[in-house]
Each structure stands twice: as C-alpha cells, then as structure tokens.
Amino acid sequence: MKQILLVFIGGGTGSIARYLISKYLNSPTTGIPYGTFTVNILGSFLIGIILGLALKNNTLSQNTVLFLATGFCGGFTTFSTFAYENHVLLKSGDFINFFIYTVGSFIIGFLFVFLGMFITK
C-alpha cells in the first residue's frame, strides 16, 4: 500500500507541475505546444538522471524510484497529450510544425535521457 501511495503522490505532483508549465508556455498563436515539448524533454532528462542514479551503486531506494520515476515523471510527461496535439496539427494541415514538433520531441527526448544517464556516471 505504501508503494501505491508513493506513486499516487508523485503522479499528482508531476501532473500539477505539467499543468503549470503548459499553462505558461503553450500558446495557440505559435502552432507548437512549447509547454508540452518542454515537459517531455525535462521529463526525459529527469528520468535519465533518476534511473541513472538508481543503477549506480543502488544510490536510490526502490521507494524513491517509484515516487520519482514512476510517479512524478509518469504524471509529469505527457505522451498522450503529445499524440493528441500531433493529431490536431495533422488535421489542420500544419505539416511543418507537426514534423518539427514530432521529430524534435523524439530526438531531443532520447538525447536528454542519455544525457541524464551520462551525468550520473
């Protein structure tokens, strides 16, 4: 039960952080949802650091990893929102922003996971 509570609290905290970042950075006039993009990149970086530390000499406990990686990062990152926003870009015929947003999210997201893991080595 303790582990479920840790994931629940972490997820709620991550969701609030995502909401606040998206509220201030997403703008319907720019075409690209910068808040969601920022959250996905930061979430990728954070999970890289968290899991890197967890793997490095068991620096983090299982409960800490559940709270931070599964809970916070799970609530913070927004892949379902990312997928929906891409649908909206495609439906509106905004293929250039769709391409920039999708490719940028994947490439930079992967790079930031690797960067987080590298930093913790």
Where is the binding site, in residues?
74, 77
- What is the distance between the alpha carbons of residues 68 and 43, in angstroms, rounded to a whole number? 10
Tokens in use for 23?
Answer: 């509220």
3-state secondary structure of 3: helix
- What is the distance between the alpha carbons of residues 113 and 45, in angstroms, rounded to a whole number? 5
**Residues marked as binding for Na(+)?**
74, 77
What DSSP line would sit under 38-89, residue for residue?
HHHHHHHHHHHHHHHHHHSTT-S-HHHHIIIIIIIIHHH--HHHHHHHHHHH
